[in-house]
Amino acid sequence: MKNRREYIIRKSMELYALNGYRNVTITDLQNALEMGRGSFYYYFKDQDELFQTCMERYFLEPKQRALNSIPENSGIDEMIAGILSYLHSLEEALLSFDVKTINTSNVNELMFTAYSLFPPLHRKAQRLALKELELWRKAIYHDQRTGVIRADIDREQIALMFSHIKNSYDPGMGKTQMDFSLLAKTYSEFHHLLKKL
């Protein structure tokens, strides 16, 4: 039973990522899953529940785990590593799909749709964004106290900038597969600018 449910979530997420939530019907899901409507409704009460489950599983839960794994007294290096581990887990999950043309444009569209249509998902995403921002603040403060970076920088602004690096970055860069190496380099260069010379 559990494996069947997991299969439904994975295959449905692939369909949503390719076509967008609004363009996927129950019939499309049935065909992709090779499953009757009655069997589908055994696992999910409707398509909204399935979509929200997909978004939780692929985006919100992995981010929650990544943020929870970052110790409170971490510096910027550990914070960067934690964020990159979350993004790599997302990349691995999406690349495990049968269709290999899914990129960050698909992902961004899905997230926008999910957060605009389903307020509970949006609230959870906001809580995670605030938690991430707070962890950046603490990491910056830690590195200021230990003398790794300059003490005269505005912690709030730098925390926002670290957050925006990830939020405004498209690792797809027009390609079909995601590449996070440039994001890692951007984080590293920005961190280097903050360090005492």
pLDDT, averaged across the chain: 88
d(CA 177, CA 94): 9
Q: Is residue 153 part of a domain?
A: yes
pLDDT of residue 22: 93
Q: Is residue 15 part of a domain?
A: no
pLDDT of residue 89: 87
In this model, does residue 174 exceed pLDDT 50?
Answer: no
pLDDT of residue 50: 96
HEC assignment per residue over the chain: CHHHHHHHHHHHHHHHHHHCHHHCCHHHHHHHHCCCHHHHHHHCCCHHHHHHHHHHHHHHHHHHHHHHCCCCCCCHHHHHHHHHHHHHHHHHHHHCCCCCCCCHHHHHHHHHHHHHHCHHHHHHHHHHHHHHHHHHHHHHHHHHHCCCECCCCCHHHHHHHHHHHHHCCCCCCCCCCCCCHHHHHHHHHHHHHHECC
- Return the structure tokens found at 36: 């009757």
In this model, does residue 102 exceed pLDDT 90?
Answer: no
Q: Is residue 12 part of a domain?
A: no
Q: Which domain holds residue 65?
A: 47-194
The structural domain count of the chain equals 1
Residue with the larger pLDDT of the pair 95 and 38: 38
Q: Is residue 166 part of a domain?
A: yes
Of 59, 37, 72, nearest to 109 by C-alpha is 59
Kindly state the percentage of the chain with pLDDT values over 70: 92
pLDDT-derived band at 1, boundaries 50, 70, 90: low
What is the model's pTM?
0.87
Summarize pLDDT for 103-155 with one digit per residue, the tens.
Answer: 777 888 889 999 999 999 999 999 999 999 999 999 999 999 999 999 999 99
pLDDT of residue 172: 47
Q: Is residue 103 part of a domain?
A: yes
Q: Is residue 39 part of a domain?
A: no
pLDDT of residue 106: 80
Q: Is residue 182 part of a domain?
A: yes
Rg, Å, the chain Cα set: 19
Residue with the larger pLDDT of the pair 91 and 154: 154
The pLDDT of 27-54, averaged and rounded, is 92
pLDDT of residue 169: 61
Of 89, 94, 91, nearest to 64 by C-alpha is 89
Summarize pLDDT for 175-187 with one digit per residue, the tens.
Answer: 545 667 778 888 9
Q: Is residue 7 part of a domain?
A: no
Rounded-to-10 torsion of CA 5, 98, 20, 39: -30
Contact 103, 177 (CB under 8 A): yes
